[in-house]
């Protein structure tokens, strides 16, 4: 069974750093793109970027380029999303999703809530 399991909710202060994870199960993780999607509570979905774990080829949305870093470790089937300096505006749910079918986001993680407040 294909699954993406994300790390747990985080509560951080502005200026702090953070790295959240997304571990894939049940498929060849290295062979398919993994995307990260932001959802501010009550708002829509925003594509942040994608990574191909097999060679770490990474693409970013212009809106998130330079604001976050996406990485992966194919040896442990895990993708990461990280910030060096969080802001209150980063408060959101972050989803990872695999792209195994037709250039779509076919399997989703359960989401990681990131709360940033002083």
Partner 1 sequence: QSALTQPASVSGSPGQSITISCTGTRGDVGNYYLVSWYQQHPGKAPKIMIYEVDKRPSGVSNRFSGAKSGNTASLTISGLQAEDEGDYFCCSYAGSTTWVFGGGTKVTV
Interface residue list for partner 1 (CB under 8 A): 33, 35, 37, 43-47, 50, 57, 59, 61-63, 95, 97, 101-106, 108-111
Minimal distance in Å, beta carbon 62 to partner 1?
6
Minimal distance in Å, beta carbon 101 to partner 1?
6
Q: Which is nearer to partner 1, 24 or 109 (CB)?
A: 109
Minimal distance in Å, beta carbon 105 to partner 1?
7
Nearest one of 11, 40, 37, 12 to 22, comparing CA atoms: 37
């Amino acid at each position: 069974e294909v699954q993406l399991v994300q790390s747990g909710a985080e509560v951080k202060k502005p200026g702090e750093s953070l790295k959240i994870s997304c571990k894939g199960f049940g498929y060849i993780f290295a062979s398919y793109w993994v995307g990260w999607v932001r959802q501010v509570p009550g708002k829509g979905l925003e594509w942040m970027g994608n990574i191909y774990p097999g060679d770490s080829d990474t693409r970013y949305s212009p809106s998130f380029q330079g604001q976050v870093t996406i990485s992966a470790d194919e040896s442990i089937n895990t993708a990461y999303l990280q910030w060096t300096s969080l802001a209150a505006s980063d408060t959101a749910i972050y989803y990872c999703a695999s792209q195994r079918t037709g250039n779509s986001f076919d399997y989703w993680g359960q989401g990681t809530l990131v709360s940033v407040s002083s």
